[in-house]
Amino acid sequence: MIIITGATGQLGQQVIAALRQHLPADQIVASVRDTAKATRHLGDDIQVRTGDFDHPENLETTFRDAAQVLIVSVDKVGKAATDLHHAAIRAARAVGAGRILYTSHQGARLHSPFTADHDHALTEQFLAEGTTPFTALRHGFYAESALHMVGSGLRKGELRVPEDGPISWTARADLAAADAAILAQAGRIDGISPPLTGTKAYTMADLARLASEESGRDIRHVTVTDEEWLAATEARGVPTVYARMLLGTFLAARRGDFNVVDPSLANLIGRPPLGMRKILRDFLREPQGEAH
């Protein structure tokens, strides 16, 4: 069995859809917190098991008969995240899973100013300390995150952002397809994966230029201080902890942490990854569309 956690999340749903292209549905198990949500989002031919990393005492039942467990990282930061990830890894080890896969990040490194990347590095370390074979999937930065961060500015015609650096934005759907390809050929990537990224890295100024070209409007890029950006972001109702985490994206990008491109993603999915120009074009053509 291949067990996918976070199966009702955006990535997890797309991994399951992509995995269906490789394997019969009866080899796939969805691990979810909310079975009603699973019924709404997954086909009725996929076995659904309840699994909440907050209740590790039940996870050995969730993960039974696992040849591979894909642990999709949770939407939390700091110790709250690493404790949950480590609990899920311990349970996968306890049931004798053949391989543990974990959705890490291209910028994973200890003490990164982007705190999620410090957390990912800790979990990669924890995986490496065990004897169970593992694959840490170093996902590129979601292109959808770029839209979430600056999509409204692109629509309004002005990006007011702190000093940044190039980021190899990557479509979530491409990452899901790559994860499925790796799961379908167990062991194809052992240990820490190469960065699974789009083919080009873009600065915020590049995004403003691309969006200008695609929309035919002048979209300005203005660099503001970190403090000004934090204050404006908090004023929009973003909780301080998340505003600071988002600022960490700029701090890490500024020093080049996300300025890497690699052909592995394209090789895994057998086609060029979705480009940022196309992603921006689609976004700008859907005025009511929501960026996630």
Q: How far is the CB of 265 from ligand NAP (least distance, A)?
A: 12
Q: Which of residues 126-185 bind ligand NAP (CB under 6 A)?
A: 139, 141-142, 145, 172
Using alpha carbons, select from 217, 218, 177, 210 the residue that is nearest to residue 282.
210
Q: Give 19 or 84: the residue with its C-beta nearer to ligand NAP.
A: 84
Our finding on whether 103 is near ligand NAP (CB under 6 A) is yes
- Tell me which of 2, 4, 5, 127 binds ligand NAP, using CB under 6 A: 5
Contact range with ligand NAP by CB under 6 A, out of 6-14, 126-134, 214-222, 281-289: 6-14
Our finding on whether 11 is near ligand NAP (CB under 6 A) is yes
Q: Which amino acid is at 101?
A: L
Contact range with ligand NAP by CB under 6 A, out of 50-58, 129-137, 206-214, 218-226: 50-58
Contact range with ligand NAP by CB under 6 A, out of 7-15, 17-25, 200-208, 239-247: 7-15
Q: How far is the CB of 199 from ligand NAP (least distance, A)?
A: 16
**Interatomic CA distance for residues 9 and 91, integer angstroms:** 21
Q: Give 49 or 99: the residue with its C-beta nearer to ligand NAP.
A: 49
**Interatomic CA distance for residues 168 and 203, integer angstroms:** 9
Q: Which of residues 201-240 bind ligand NAP (CB under 6 A)?
A: none
With contacts defined by CB under 6 A, how many residues of the chain interact with ligand NAP?
25
What residue ranges bind ligand NAP (CB under 6 A)?
5-6, 8-12, 33-34, 51-54, 72-75, 84, 103, 105, 139, 141-142, 145, 172
